[in-house]
Structure 1
Amino acid sequence: MPLLPATSVDFFLAGLESFMRRSGQGTHWGVTQLQLRGRPDQHFLTRAWEQIHAHHPMLGARLRRQWRGWKWVWQTPEKPPPAPAIHWHPWAEHPPAPATIQLRLLGHTETAHLTSPLWMDVFPCGHDDTHVILLTWRHALLDGTGINLLLEQLASGSCENGPPTPVSPKRESFASLYSKAKPLIDRLHAMTSAGCLSAWRRGMRQDGPPEYRLIEFSAAESQRATALLRSLCGDFMQMPFYAAIAARALRLLHTQRGWTSPQIHLQLPVQIRGRSRELIFGNHMGTLPLFLESSSLTTVDQSIAHLLDRYREAVRLKVAQSSEALMSLASHMPLGAFIPAVRLTNRGQICSLFHSHTGTFLPGHSAFAGAALQNICTIPSVCAPPGLGIFASDYAGRITITLAWREKAVTREELDSLERQIRMDMTGSEEHPLQAAS
């Protein structure tokens, strides 16, 4: 069977899923939701769906360790697996209920386990010709960047090109990798000494089912948020804006619980693979660890300035390269021991919060399979710890924030408070729950 090189982040996500399985949290899935006005063209969508599966053997790949060099590789089948049939549901008055999406996040349909890393449902609903597509995907095999590339190919219908020839990661000696990883190792030790909490702490339940809440901003609210983003971060730096708002939300949660966490540890996604329209599967993004002082997150302006300072410091110290080197070193340990080792050295935590900004879905597309697009967002599952994730995306100028958590990690009252602050922070409101709680 053909072997394809795996990246260090493939190992990280495989280790994370191994931890989730062992702690009763299931497998690691995400759901991308498309809201359409009109019925998608069934023939067009089915043909594109089948072409994707026919030309991408990674959809049948399995991650395994190669004896020679003890490297992780993707073992792909000689023949790509057949595409699972798109499930066209009967008409219903309401869109798919949260319980349906929760089932997909657990890797289930209404009657069975998902046996394919990609699954598509189409739900006609309401009396205005609305259709909702749920695209369920296995996070061990692709990330938010890959999903956007997948949607672009499905929307265009041109899915006959297979992936480019993958480039094997450069081999480095242990001494070289350790030298690169040492600054981050020292920083992680300092962080552990200072203390770093998430939404989960020892004694809290881990095996609750995944839950989520969508915070959808109107076109007018999104315009205000975009104007605020540009005034604080410029035209090209969106991630610091969303990351600062996510960090402030977690600090509010700590404040309301009476918890003391001197620092907040964020893992910001950074591109580690060369960009290619056909390079869909396998994970594109590595992580840039940032360590924020909770005391510097009092206002949105202060939080963004602090995060930008830490970001520039991390770039100067080559923390992204240190993170990649540390993951390369860690990939030599047994898969099931990786996350327990991280938690052992980090007081039971992995990081403070899962966060990402997926960016703009389907730029330049106003329709999908012949139906007018209304909105797109992604709903990932998260594990505990950290127990909470805050994910941002937008389509056609409309912003959506997804709160994802494990049951019992966050209460409904806490979620209401988090949503209020996020809405205020995003739109430049004067009154902040965090300032009132401080």
Structure 2
Amino acid sequence: MIDSIDLSYETVAILMFSTMVLMFLTGQRVFGAIGFVGAMAAMFWGTGGVDMAFAQSTKLMSWFPLLTLPLFIFMGYILSESGIASDLYKMFHVWMGPLPGGLAVGTLGLMVAISAMNGLSVAGMAIGASIALPELLRRGYDKVMVTGVIQAGSSLGILVPPSVVLVLYGMIARQPVTKLWLAGVVPGLMLAGMFILYTIVRCKLQPQMGPALPKEERDMPMGEKLALLKAGILPLLIFFSMTGLLLMGVTGLVESSAFGATAALVAAAWKRRLTKQVLEDSMRKSLTITCMFMWVILAALCFSSVFDGLGAVKAIEGLFLDSWGLGPWEVLLLMQLSYILLGMFLDDTAMLVIVAPLYIPLIIALGFNPIWYGVLYTITVQIAYMTPPFGYNLFLMKAMAPPEISLKDIYKSVTPFVLIMVAALGIVTLFPEIALWLPENVDLRGR
């Protein structure tokens, strides 16, 4: 045990951050680097400091809403591994095909649906790149445009409920997850609508970018079209019935996630696709993702508690408000710019656990709503994901795309969608009611 050492707030902030950066440079995993720094810094706390990591793990395990994490992830993987997500794309393919750029619009619809099932951007990216991208290229769609469509659509996974990123934000910011999810609904649908409108208008002005489905393929008997509609609408019914039960007060947050996971299993079994392989793959992937997030949350809690307790947060407040003399909105803008910069090098989880312990107390101190800020953070992360040169989604797409799509094509593809996201971020910043209306008007007592 090391006795408490008198260090200035600025010294604590510099030591913790420089040590964490050094750990990242050694190639350590995010949770290992952050947790190590938090545990070591706890030794400067004084008596009882070394017990802090244990106290945070107890707090994590007793946080009941955390049960939603594995259940929603499992639901998404069941729907994906059983091929039900493919049925959804076939539905969009046939029904949206007659529109200019209709298949790209259908792909965005698929991305929204996958987001509502899984809560992870990587799931939408994997399904879009494996199912939609080859079909779009075969149909003569412009490779640059459709690459951007898939990246932009998959980014909705961290904003539309059940967003895993908002679960982590809720844990770190100590805010109710259900309210955060509700706050992400309208901005998420607004962004999806803006993406769809841009795609339709661009393909209307430049038909060669996204040709409509040939007439002979559209002349499908109505019975077949309705059968596709029935097959594709099943996963949407699962999500909306699950959400409807939550909003009506029939189920709580955890019960709703359990209902969704059970409904996905029943749907896969009803379609005779619930094989042993599908079940094993879904459980294995769900367990892997869940364990990773559990370790990250635990490390983040340890780091943020020590960071705040040792006074480093006060150093940040002093820098922004006293030394630089910034106003509340200037501080907010600086925070968002720092997220975009960090997003060129780190994923959303790393950014959240590194920066959120500093920014969230400051946001509350400045009088901003932490639920609203959670939405701003998430949209900014979406922008950072797609910002060259090192955006997370850019290299993920490069790894999944066919050889004819170069990294230069991927860089070009994201420009219009990043501009749309920046516009959406500005709209939600200027009009907080877009994010706050739903959580403020839905009765969430006891949930």
Q: TM-score, normalised by structure 1?
A: 0.31
Q: Which has the higher helix share?
A: 2
**Structure number with higher strand proportion:** 1
Larger Rg: 2
Give me the TM-score of the superposition, normalised by structure 2. 0.31
